[in-house]
Each structure stands twice: as structure tokens, then as C-alpha cells.
Amino acid sequence: MKDKVLSVLESHNGYVSGEYLSKILGVSRTAVWKAINRLREDGYVIDSVTNRGYCLKKKADQLNTGLISSGLETSVVGTRIEVMKTVDSTNEEIKRRAAAGEESGLLIAAERQTGGKGRLGRSWKSDSGGLYFTFLLRPELPPNEISGITLAAGYGVCVAVREFTGLDARIKWPNDIIIGSKKICGILTEMTAQTDRVDFVAVGIGINVNNKEFPEEIKDKATSLYLESGMEIDRNDFLSVVIGDLDIAAGQFLSGFPRNMKEHFKSLCATLGRNVTAHRGGRIIEGTAVDITDEGNLLIRDNSGEPVEINSGEVVVQGIY
């Protein structure tokens, strides 16, 4: 109920009477009053004046399902959205839900993760101000085509950041989003599959949004939208835009990415044209990143002129962390 009350207050400039709220939401005045008190407990500043009603004076910097989904219509990503206060990891939560039979499309965001996970067994710090969420897909695809989902997700986030902030966000292949030479977003995709069929995919995304500072060990490599733009971002509005763009990108992927989206992806890829070092089959490859293949792999022309395709793992890009 509090989400519904909040949506109405948000969409009105000024006071909304308790009578009006109870009428359009089909509940008692007492239920409205209780919802208002819950919102206040969550940190919203709501003024109440006799004979005028309630007025939202200040939003809480808290994720709210109603605000994220208001005006958002998606068909692939975030068809259901849940917000949790604390969880070990949104990827772990999505995997538990998937194992219990949850359908494709659920997105879970959390204010706080006690065991946030990064790629290659690293941990992901989940300080306040960031966005941490995971969505569930059950694509009818063979396991070897799933890496493209991560590329599509990176592309979707990159487009959303550009759209929402005007910042020159770019993709560091395969799926980090950077501004300048520093990282603002990482993606961890996990899947459960049989030999020829994917059961489910959990795509976990961490974005540094309003983070004001970073620990010593990553402060030269990480930045946030706040630090880059000088603006405090409304995380509900931003997440809503991100989910919309992820839905478009994932939809395109499922209908034939990377072929369909390759050129768009390349236009935002900061890795191309740079000197890179990569590891493949125990070999160190040094050369220039020249292209993204139809399968979404990185094509490197090594220093002896030979083309080499890289499909996963770490690529060190000169000039970027």
C-alpha cells in the first residue's frame, strides 16, 4: 500500500487529500494514514495539513518498487521487480528463486549485500549509494551462446548511463562500463545448464551511482556517476531507465544478438583500437584489439600480425585501469 500512496504523492505537485487517496486506492482513510507513517519511517518527509491533506516534501534515498516500476513497461527484463533491504548477494537470491521455479523476468535489487560477488572469484563491495541488482532469464538457447547476454546487458547499461547523465560512458569488453579510464559498473553472469540447454541465467549488475569515495585499493580504478557528474542521482528514476534499456538490449539479443547489435556495441566499445594483453590457453597475447566477431568475441591482431579470437577472461587494456 505504501508504494501506491507514494506513487500518487509523487505524481501530484502539492497536497493530496486523505479522502482522495482512500478513494482512488480503494482503501480506508486509516490504511492511508498507516501507509504515510510507514513512508515517514523509511525516511520520506511528508507534510500533513488539516483540510488539505498530504504533501511529499523530500524523497528518501531508498529504492522503492513502486517508483522504479512507475511508467515502466517491459517484456523480458524486470517484468516483476522486488527490492530487498539486505541480502547476501542478489545473484545468490535469484539463483535460489530460480531453483524454486521462479519464471523468467524477475529482477531483485538490494540496498545492501553482505557477500556481493565479482568476476573471477573476487568480492564486490556494496556500499550505500550504489545500485546492486540481478535479473533472471530462461532463454531457449544453447549454453555457448549465453556470453552474448552479458554483452547485451553491458550495452544496455551503457546506453542508460549516457541517456540519463549525458556522460561519455563506454564499454570495456566484455562487460565493464567505464568513464574515462575508470570503472563505474561490473556485470557477473551465472548460469545453470544441461549440455545442450540452458536452465536459467542470473545477470548481476553493480553500478557506482552516488558513491562519494572508494577504498584506497580501488580508488584509482573506480569512479561513480556522482563523482563524474557532480550530481546526486535519483536511484529509482535511474534504475527505471536502466531496466528499460536492458529490456530492449536483452530483447534484441534473444532475437539474434550479437549479429543484430554488433555495430551498436562496437560504437561504444572503448577496447577497440587499443593495445591489449590477453591470456589464451596458457599463452600471453599482446597486440591491438581490432574487432568484435559475430559471436561477440574480441579479435586481436597480435604483434606478429596474426588474428587471435578471445572469448572470455581478463583483457588488460592499455590506458584503462
Q: How far is the CB of 266 from ligand BTN (least distance, A)?
A: 21
Q: Provide the edge-to-edge strand list for the sheet that holds 80-87.
A: 80-87, 106-113, 131-137, 198-207, 182-193, 176-179, 169-172
Distance CA 189, CA 201 (A): 7
C-alpha cell at 278: 590477453
Q: How far is the CB of 239 from ligand BTN (least distance, A)?
A: 12
> Among residues 205 and 249, whose Cβ is nearest to ligand BTN?
205
When CB distances to ligand BTN are compared, the closest residue is 186
Question: Running DSSP on this structure, what letter comes out for residue 297?
Answer: P
Residues binding ligand BTN (CB under 6 A): 89-91, 113, 116-119, 122, 124, 132-134, 176, 186-188, 204-206
Contact 204, 91 (CB under 8 A): yes
Q: How far is the CB of 317 from ligand BTN (least distance, A)?
A: 14
Q: Which helix (H) or strand (E) holds 200?
A: strand 198-207
Q: How far is the CB of 143 from ligand BTN (least distance, A)?
A: 20
Burial 177-213 (b: 16+ CB within 10 A, else e): bbbeebbbbbbbbbbeeeeeebebbbbbbbbbbbbee
> Among residues 133 and 238, whose Cβ is nearest to ligand BTN?
133
> Among residues 29 and 122, whose Cβ is nearest to ligand BTN?
122
> Among residues 36 and 171, whose Cβ is nearest to ligand BTN?
171
> Among residues 73 and 217, whose Cβ is nearest to ligand BTN?
217
State the CB neighbour count (10 A cutoff) for residue 263.
10
Q: How far is the CB of 205 from ligand BTN (least distance, A)?
A: 6
> Among residues 6 and 108, whose Cβ is nearest to ligand BTN?
108
Q: Give me the residue label for grid cell 545473484.
A: 91
Contact 160, 184 (CB under 8 A): no
Q: How far is the CB of 222 from ligand BTN (least distance, A)?
A: 10
Distance CA 180, CA 321 (A): 10
